[in-house]
Structure 1
Amino acid sequence: MNVLDTDVLVVGAGPVGLTLAMDLAARGVQVVIAEIRRYAEPPNVKCNHVAARTMERFRRLGVAEKLRDAGLPADYPNDVVFRTSVTGTELTRIPIPCRADRYTSREGPDTWWPTPEPPHRINQLFLEPILLEHTAALQGVTLLNRTQLTLFAQREGGVEATALDLDTGAERRIRCRYMVGCDGGSSTVRKAIGAKLEGTPVIQRVQSTYIRAPQLRAMIPGKPAWSYYSVNPRRCGTVFAIDGHETWLVHNHLNPDEPDFDTIDRDWAIRQILGVGPDFQYEVLSKEDWVGRRLVADRFRDRNVFIAGDAAHLWVPYAGYGMNAGIADALNLSWLLAARLQGWGDEAILDAYEAERQPITMQVSNFAMDHAAKMIKARRAVPANIEAQDAAGAQARREVGEEAYALNVQQFCCAGLNFGYFYQGSPIIAGDGETPPAYTMGDFTESTVPGCRAPHFWLADGRSLYDAFGAGYTLLRFDVRADVAPLQSAARERGMPLTIVDVAGVEPPAAYRHALLLCRDDQHVAWRGDALPAHASGLVAMLCGAGRS
């Protein structure tokens, strides 16, 4: 039997698995990816949004620009519009800049993002091939397509897996130090480690259809949009522009009393959502029906095996935080695995992954579930006269539009979910007694409380703060008189990567109230103070997962 040795085996080459492999390879870690699909086989038409936090990391990995150049046409508005049907009367509009104006526009609720990389609307059809091509070309990455994990066993110091070549039937043994299941909602890895999804198995069912309709764009009045919400008494649904020309994804949100996907005639529902008659022609490219859930695994790890993304959590993807939460898992886990494999991280540093990510995914899943409940309620309360061409109808449209804007601007301009979440109870974060500020889906307060994301600002030389971050830890020094030599010495002794960034010639955000701020590789604050602790070696030991010495 063919034997392959590697540092990390990643099971699944979707956006989460590819991002994990990409980030690990950037740290010099050897990675094998096992994927059941053929190389470049098109993915499902699922995810439509790359969050700002994800784009920040893609910037550091050198792939952000490639992604910005893909997706909808450069001048195609990314607006979200609510109409009585896609071709009907507009109720309200949430303005979002096209990608050509993404860095420069200052108008509307989606342009104030405190980041070097605002979000990007792009369907997975365009996103995944770029990530795949980039990752497959990286040194240290071995991609095994048409390869299915069949079993694995944990041995002392690692994992031994058996994988099947789906084309030849040949078996291969893969020996690795760590394995990560990024293999989706029906994850083989999750089931094998005995982790269980807990929560609400069904929140809503969505009859989803990917169509080609070249005539549709010309039939839609006014300025185009990336997302159209159809609001009428017959059928409520959502339509996403995929290529900006002729392909569309139509979501028909089934009502609670519609128990399965065949309850409602698909063609009838599509026509009611689009607002077109029986003579309108379209082609069904694929059926993408899905169930909205709120499920989080009871654990994310068994010794040397981890799970991430949909393998660890499933929820209604409001605010675009299905795929992006999975990528956040991958980026949290990647630097921890690298720390351990490079020898400066203690084995216990890996405990931080579950301690940090599981509570956050619970929070995000509850945000999504709460929003889903409000949306379901709104769909059931559409006024019967919303399409009436009289004063009462106009009033109904105004009221529904105002309510739709207030409810949905937070999910499409979700600064809170991007920048507000924080890690508490982590073994590698030194809390100082101050409580991190609360956040909502749409709002947050910038903070340097340990566990929070270090607020972004531009350095005097024009670089993004995050561009100056090194691997491992970065110490921001706002007072050059502060003595950091003991920390440097302790880090050097342990082998812990430490970058010193002296901040001068620029006024940082008001949240920076301390002379020294120690940031992790993933931009979260690990420690802060006006002077180093008396025993810098103790702080370094904690940062490396060894507890305070």
Structure 2
Amino acid sequence: MKQDSTQVLIVGGGITGLTAALFLAQQGVNFILIEKHKGTSIHPRARTIDIRTMELFRGLGLSEELREGGKALAPAWGILRGINLVETLNTTKSDIIGNANFPKQFAAMKALGEKSPESVCRCTQDISEAIIYQKAKHHDLRFNHQLLTFQQDENSVAAVVKNRETEEIYTIQANYMIAADGANSMIRKQLEIPLAGHGAWMDLLNIYFEADLSTLVRGREFSQFLIETSEITGFLLAINNADRWTFHLRYDPEKGEVPVDEILRKVIGIPDLKMSILSILPWQLTVRISTQLRVNKIFIAGDAAHTMTPYAGKGANAGIQDVQNLAWKLAAVLKHQAGDALLDTYHTERQPVGAFYANLSGEMADKNGLIDESKMMQYGEKLLGLPDYAYDSTAVVRPSQLFRGEPGTCIPHMWLEDGSSSLDWVKGQFVLIANGHFEYWRAASKLSHIQVKLVELPANEPWMTLTQATPTDAILIRPDDFVAARLNALHPCEQLAKTIKKICSLRNI
């Protein structure tokens, strides 16, 4: 049997697996990605890329391309209810449709615009995955290759893989494996990882269809249309505000086939509407949370780690943020710059975040399985995506006094004179931001066992005000944009070296 070897095996070529590939490539890590399907998603699925995730795509050089890819969906905001779409649009003033149920979110987006160089992007997953794939395709991506079995020991993971096109079976030996194989993860199940959360409680059909409604919705675009009648319960989602839509129908699978065309015409309110069904996917309203994200050499990410309802808009976003957190840590260990305990901080930092959003997504579903608009209004800023949490692990050095720019929080955004953002300093590397005493920090950064980029900000009052820093301070940023520690110019070489070794779980400090 043929055997390939690599540093990291990624199982799953969806949005989480593909972005894991890009983050590992950014870190110079060798990997192989396998995906059982022939290509990327042909179904829209996730439609919103939150602010934090757009910051990550900015670091990969993809934010503008994703925004362009989703421009047709960009005007679609607001949630409407009614007995059919035509009647609801004709009885709702067009100037308030976009604001329906969203005034708090719009206010929050305006406020968040000052805290980030990016904003929320509307882009469906079939488009976003295709864009990410194009960026990653020159790496070793093996679509139509399926994981059959795997086993691990204290040194590596051995996976048996089938090439579904040629029927060839071969093995891949890897130092580590990332399980990004979705909500029904075979890897998670085989590892027998305990699950928390509500579980599954409702069956729906995701009906992707084509129908020209451009004239009907032009100038009064919406995000969701909810319908609850004696016959039909479900929600219609805009995909391109013209001829692509999805309808999620609550149904009972024990009752057999559903008259899809008839139902869709009633939902729209046009009895003779011409349409074409593109695909139908059954799914369940589900909240499942992995209680472990690491089992020896294997790491669980994305939907495999935290399956959630679509109502918080966090499923794909949480997965992307998972693998960005993990990639630099794997790189540091593989390059012998960090100890194995650094990898434990992946679970410590990301599991509570995924669990929070998964539970929140379940809370946002009403008794009939539709989104609860009052919860949408209540959570406002939390749904838009700037982290309102701080990591607390051995991979940050936290002071007793907490303030903006504190260790464990994301680097604050500040516009720079050249039009870039302070986030653009990072791009997957350690960064030390100094306010003065530059000759000391230059010497310290050169002596570090890990390459550290030094950013010199001489007497930059906006930055010092933003971070409550002094001219003797320096802020150390991790490769995932989170503040690792705050240092001062007293014994800078010793202090920086000791801090990085502690963050990287090296024992000889």
Query: What's the TM-score, normalizing by structure 2?
Result: 0.87
Residue among 238, 242, 246 paired with 1:241: 238
Displacement of 1:538 in angstroms is 2.6
Q: What is the letter of the counterpart of residue 405 of structure 2?
A: T
What is the CA distance between 1:18 and its match in structure 2?
0.4
1:208 aligns to what?
Answer: 206
Give the superposition deviation at 1:435: 5.8
Residue 19 (structure 1) shift: 0.3
Partner residue, 2:117: 116
Q: 1:93 to 1:277 in 2, by over 3 A?
A: closer
1:292 aligns with 2:260: no
1:281 to 274, 294, 306: 274
1:219 counterpart residue number: 216
- The 1:500/1:481 distance shift into structure 2, 3 A limit, reads closer
The range that moved more, 504-513 or 120-129, is 504-513
Is this contact kept in 2: 1:470–1:499, CA < 8 A? no
Q: Are 1:306 and 2:308 counterparts?
A: no
Which of residues 261, 264, 273 is equivalent to 1:270?
A: 264
Alpha carbon RMSD of aligned pairs, Å? 3.0
Aligned to 1:502: 456
2:12–2:33 Cα contact (<8 Å) kept: yes
Q: Per-residue CA shift, 1:67-126, capped at 9, x if unaligned?
A: 12213438x613224242422133853459xxxxxxxxx985534432122121111121
Q: What does residue 154 of structure 1 align with?
A: 152
Q: Aligned in 2, Cα 1:120/1:178: closer, same or farther, shift over 3 Å?
A: same
Question: C-alpha deviations, 1:192-246, integer Å up to 9, x for none?
Answer: 22213222112443332111111x23234x6232513235555554322223321
Aligned letter for 2:409?
C
**Alignment of 1:252 onto 2:209:** no
- State whether residues 71 and 121 of structure 1, in contact with CA within 8 Å, keep that contact through their aligned partners in structure 2: yes
AA matched with 2:121? H
- Matches of 1:485 and 1:30, distance apart in 2: 31
Q: In terms of mean alpha carbon deviation, does 148-157 or 51-60 score higher?
A: 148-157
CA distance 1:249–1:416, change in 2 (3 Å) = closer
Query: Percent identity over the alignment?
Result: 28
Question: Is the 8 Å Cα contact of residues 210 and 244 (structure 2) preserved in structure 1?
Answer: yes
Q: Which moved more, 1:406-415 or 1:7-16?
A: 406-415
Distance 1:236 1:20 in 2: 37
159, 162, 173: which one aligns with 1:175: 173
1:317 matched to 2:310: yes
| Whole-angstrom CA distance in 2 between matches of 1:547 and 1:430 | 15
Contact 1:153 1:161 in 2 (8 A): yes
Q: 1:229 maps to which residue?
A: 225
Cα distance change, pair 377–192 in 1 and its aligned pair in 2 (3 A): closer
Residue pair 1:72, 1:122 contacting (<8 A) in 2 also? yes
Question: Which residue does 1:455 correspond to in 2?
Answer: 412
In structure 2, the residue matched to 1:423 is: 391
- Structure 1 segment 357-506 matched on structure 2, within 5 A: 357-373=350-366, 404=373, 407-409=375-377, 414=382, 417-424=385-392, 426-434=393-401, 447-469=404-426, 471-480=428-437, 483-484=440-441, 487-488=444-445, 490-491=447-448, 494=449, 496-504=450-458, 505=460
Q: 1:10 to 1:449 in 2, by over 3 A?
A: same
Note the alpha carbon deviations across 1:402-458, whole angstroms, 9 max, x for none: xx4x6434667546643212212x11111212468xxxxxxxxxx322211122111
The CA distance in 2 between the partners of 1:503 and 1:56, in whole Å, is 22
Contact (CA 8 Å) 1:212, 1:283: kept in 2 or not?
yes
Secondary structure of residue in 1 paired with 2:376: helix
Equivalent pair of 1:487/1:540 in contact (CA under 8 Å): no
Greater CA drift, 502-511 or 43-52 = 502-511
The change in CA–CA distance for 1:175 and 1:415 in structure 2 (over 3 A counts) is: same
For structure 1, the residue ranges without an aligned partner over 5 or more in a row are: 97-105, 380-403, 437-446
What is the CA–CA distance in structure 1 between the aligned matches of 2:12 and 2:371, rounded to whole Å? Answer: 37
Distance 1:410 1:272, change over 3 A: farther
1:164 maps to: 162
What one-letter code is carried by the residue in structure 2 that aligns with 1:524?
Answer: F
Counterpart contact for 1:72–1:244, Cα < 8 Å: no
Residues 185 and 314 of structure 1 are in contact (CA less than 8 Å); yes or no, is this contact kept in structure 2?
A: yes
Distance 1:60 1:306, change over 3 A: same
Contact 2:76 2:241 in 1 (8 A): no
Q: Where does residue 389 of structure 1 map in the other structure?
A: none
State TM-score, norm by structure 1: 0.81
Tell me which of the two structures has the higher relative contact order, counting C-alpha pairs closer than 8 angstroms and 6 or more residues apart: 2
- Alpha-carbon distance in 2 for matches of 1:448, 1:25: 28
8 Å CA contact 1:23, 1:331 repeated in 2: yes
Q: Quote the offset at 1:134 in angstroms.
A: 1.3
Q: What SS does the corresponding residue of 1:148 show, helix, strand or coil?
A: strand
Work out the CA distance in 2 between the residues paired with 1:488 and 1:460: 25
The aligned amino acid for 2:197 is: G
2:165 is paired with a residue whose SS is coil
What does the per-residue CA deviation read over 1:140-172, in whole Å, with 9 as the maximum and x for residues that have no partner?
Answer: x21122111112222442222211111222111
Letter in 2 for 1:541: K
Aligned position for 2:320: 327
Q: CA deviation at 1:65?
A: 2.3
* Structure 1 Cα separation of the partners of residues 345 and 242 of structure 2: 45
State the one-letter code of the partner of 1:116: P
Question: Which residue number in structure 2 is paired with residue 198 of structure 1?
Answer: 196
Residue 420 of structure 1 aligns to a residue whose secondary structure is: coil
Q: Secondary structure at the match of 2:54?
A: helix
Q: Distance in 2 between matches of 1:30 and 1:52?
A: 29
Cα shift at 1:523 = 1.2
- Answer yes or no: is the 8 Å Cα contact 2:50–2:384 preserved in 1: no
- Residue 173 of structure 1 deviates from its aligned partner by 1.5
**Aligned counterparts of 1:327 and 1:227: Cα–Cα separation in 2:** 23
Q: CA separation of 1:217/1:228 partners in 2, compared to 1, >3 Å: closer, same or farther?
A: farther
Question: Hey, what's the Cα distance between the residues in 2 that align with 1:331 and 1:463?
Answer: 21
* Separation of aligned partners in 1, 2:366 and 2:436: 49
Change (3 A) 1:19 1:260: farther
Matched, 1:93 2:97: yes
1:273 counterpart letter in structure 2:
V
1:282-338 per-position Cα deviation (integer Å, ceiling 9, x unaligned): 222111232121211121111111111111110112231001101111111111111
CA distance in structure 2 between the aligned counterparts of 1:312 and 1:133, rounded to whole angstroms: 26
Measured in 1, the distance between the counterparts of 2:481 and 2:506 equals 21
1:263–1:367 Cα change, 3 Å = farther
